[in-house]
Amino acid sequence: MNPQKSSSKMFLEIVKQLRQLIQDEGVRVGEKLPSERELAERLQVGRSTVREALRSLELLGLIETRRGEGTFLSDFRKHQLVELLSTFILQESKSKEDVHLTRETLEKEAIRTICQSEQHQKHFIWEAFLVKLQQEPVIREDIIREIIIISGNRLSLKVWFLLKQFAGEPYQSEMNVEEKTIWMQLLNSLQNGKEQLSISLYHEWLFLMDRREKNGSRSI
């Protein structure tokens, strides 16, 4: 395996490895999985890459980490949709476009949900992000993740997290100045419950992000 593969590829490889290990070794629910070190050796990748992928799988509810004990298999029967999705995205590159479209659908629905709830509109996190956008670097994923969380749909969050892992970049990149400007407008419209404007700005951001990635530009 090439150690330089993208983080999203590493995530998928670790998912494959765990699925194969569970099948080949007959690991049962509640039993311990190999250590980070052992997985890193099997996959020929750094332990930090393994650690991040395991953290992602834990957020999806597929594994459980117990401090001082190790990592254990959770009950997959409780997460049939997540299991189905993970199987789907491992099939072929053809699924990548569908993954992106599904992720965007979840994000737009979360924006609509927030715009339709006065309680969500007044959440303190929006002002915090407005300040951060003006003063600090902002990772794209951070704002989107909070929008999904605050929308209150826990299933959407789990599905989105899995789809985001498959997408990898560009969500892990920092926003440039143009993106920050759009997001400041979007957060202001979101706070005022302007659903159509918020969705329009979201589409504008997607277009800008796509153009930036195609041009191979760097964060400003």
DSSP string, 71-125: EEE--GGGGHHHHHHHHHHTS-TTHHHHHHHHHHHHHHHHHHHHHT-HHHHT-HH
Do residues 102 and 201 both lie within one domain?
A: yes
Domain edge (last residue) among 40, 58, 80: 80
Q: How far apart are CA 192 and CA 122, in angstroms?
A: 9
Which structural domain, as residue segments, surrounds residue 38? 7-80
Do residues 130 and 39 both lie within one domain?
A: no
Per-residue pLDDT of the chain (220 residues; tens, 9 = 90+): 444 445 556 666 676 777 777 777 777 778 888 888 888 887 777 787 777 777 767 766 678 888 888 888 876 545 555 555 555 554 555 566 777 788 899 999 999 999 999 999 999 999 999 999 999 999 888 899 899 999 988 888 878 877 776 665 567 788 999 999 999 999 999 999 999 999 999 999 999 887 877 776 444 3
1 falls within a domain: no
Q: Look up the pTM and report it.
A: 0.62
Q: How far apart are CA 111 and CA 156, in angstroms?
A: 12
28 near 73, Cβ under 8 Å? yes
